[in-house]
Amino acid sequence: MTYIPISPNERDAMLKTVGVGSLDDLFDAIPQKHRFPKLDLPPALTEMEAASLLSEMANTNENVREHLISFLGAGAYNHYIPSVVDHMLRRGEFYTAYTPYQPEISQGTLQAIFEYQSLMTNLTGMEVSNASHYDGATATAEAVNLAFAQFRGKRKKVVMSPSVHPQYREVIRTYSQGMGLEEAGDDPTVDLEAGPESLMALVDEKTMLVVVQYPDFFGRIYDYTKLIEDAHAKGSLVCVVANPTALLMLKTPASMGADIVVGEAQPFGIPLWYGGPYLGFFTTKKSYVHKMAGRLIGETIDNRGQRSYVLTLTAREQHIKRERATSNICTNQGLLALGCAVYMSALGKTGLSQVANLCYQKAHYAASELSKIDGYGLCFSDPFFHEFVLCCPKPASEVNEYLLANGILGGYDLGKDYPSLENHILMAFTEMNSKQEIDTLVEVLKEME
């Protein structure tokens, strides 16, 4: 079926107005030998058939609500999404609108994104937020672009902690291929217990940016105040990649002196969705706003004296600056920024604090119970939030296979990215994990031999 609302009679009348005999005659400019290829695609389905086909495909998966108990995180988290979030996202006025280029008839999107920016600055403690990036990894890569622009290419070294998400480091390497950067610290074979200050050995007068994660990829909470102070003394900027749920409880990166705070806001109201679309947030200090990529909403007034909002500082962007733009970013994650704002508003200060506390409590209960099993233990002794590294007596892949056979989606096998962590699993806990689920995990591991 198609969605074309034109009858054959109307079509013929329109062709007559245009002055051509048939629809095919509209395409004379196309080289004849390539015109109208026969496409080898399955025949069209009706809506009823498509609904059934897609349902069947979706049912082939084992999902973390109906089939599997999940303790998998590593950058994507299974949180409860209040019903109200999707009800608001399903408003056609929001989801079928374009980027708000015409502010007079786009105030809904503009005010909602302005509020999203405000929620993000209040969460991170930073001064400005843009309207979002594709995901946490690309937001981090854009932090590298900001630093590169800030130093106008005069400093070209990026120091990345090895405990930044491996995929984020990979994306930074892809993004920076044309920039001639020197990348340091991006080495999974170093001593992973050395602590954040050990990065300072790599920071010098050529360093433009230091990137750390908070809590780090292994779930550890570090106070980066000293590192940031020392990096600033060398003239470098510091970017903190933060988990937004953790920020509901922990000291803000702004209070540690961070210059840029980015991260993945998927935990805030966005379904796991097999990895996307998610929501990269980007916050920084006001002094870097002109070097920041992405859309930005600012407050103003209309010609009737009403408070209103517009896209602002557009001169930084690609459609004005073209090849001199900081980034080529055009689309952001508008609808998901709205979803994030609804999530934060619907839970509010109280509900959000409850979410953070539940994550913390469940993870710590699990840690204490798992540590009691023979051969298992926590790999690191540092404070953690809702994720930790479990040391196992066997290769992580064997443990995960055994868990899966028992209906449990285990954690992330760290041996794939860190050679020294072959028998280690990164486990994540959220408010979705009941005590019973955690007890089941413990029981199943005890039975494994």
Residue from 163, 236, 327, 423 touching other proteins (CB under 8 A): that is 327
271 contributes a contact to other proteins by CB under 8 A? yes
Identify the bridge partners of residue 242 per DSSP, sorted by sequence position. 214, 263
Q: What residues between 25 and 64 interact with other proteins by CB under 8 A?
A: 26-31, 34-47, 50-51, 53-64
Residues 209 to 268: which contact other proteins by CB under 8 A? 221, 223, 247-252, 255, 264
With contact defined as beta carbons under 8 Å apart, do 401 and 62 qualify? no
Q: Cα(first)–Cα(last) distance of the chain, in Å?
A: 56
Q: Residues 279-318: x/- map of binding to other proteins (CB under 8 A)?
A: -------x--x-----xxxxxxxxxxxxxxxx-xx---xx
Q: Which parts of 333-362 interact with other proteins (CB under 8 A)?
A: 333-336, 338, 341-342, 344-355, 357-358, 360-362
Our CB check for other proteins shows the closer of 190 and 249 to be: 249
Interface residue with other proteins among 322, 381, 447, 449 (CB under 8 A) is: 322
Q: Tell me, by CB under 8 A, how many residues bind other proteins.
A: 210
Please, which residues bridge with residue 427 across strands?
Answer: 388
Within 8 A by CB and 6+ apart from 28, the residues are none
**Region 140-159 residues binding other proteins, contact defined as CB under 8 A:** 145
How is residue 90 written in tokens? Answer: 């399903």
CA 309 – CA 314 distance, rounded (Å): 13
77-116 positions binding other proteins, by CB under 8 A: 78, 80, 82, 84, 86-88, 90-109, 111-115
Closest CA to 125 of 289, 246, 224, 255: 255
* 185 φψ region: left (φ > 0), alpha (ψ -120 to 50), beta (else): left
Cα 163 to Cα 161: distance, rounded to the nearest angstrom: 5
Residue 378 is a binding residue for other proteins (CB under 8 A): no
Residue 174 touching other proteins (CB under 8 A): yes
Q: Which of 411, 404, 331 is nearest to 367 (CA)?
A: 411
Smallest gap from residue 76 Cβ to other proteins (A): 5
Distance between CA atoms of 171 and 234, rounded to whole angstroms? 26
Instruction: Select the residue interacting with other proteins from 21, 69, 118, 186 (CB under 8 A).
Output: 118
Q: Does the footprint of other proteins cover residue 171 (CB under 8 A)?
A: yes
Q: Which residue in the set 378, 409, 442, 448 belongs to the binding site for other proteins (CB under 8 A)?
A: 409
**Minimum CB–partner distance for residue 70 and other proteins (Å):** 6
- 218 half-sphere exposure, CB direction, 13 A CA radius: 25
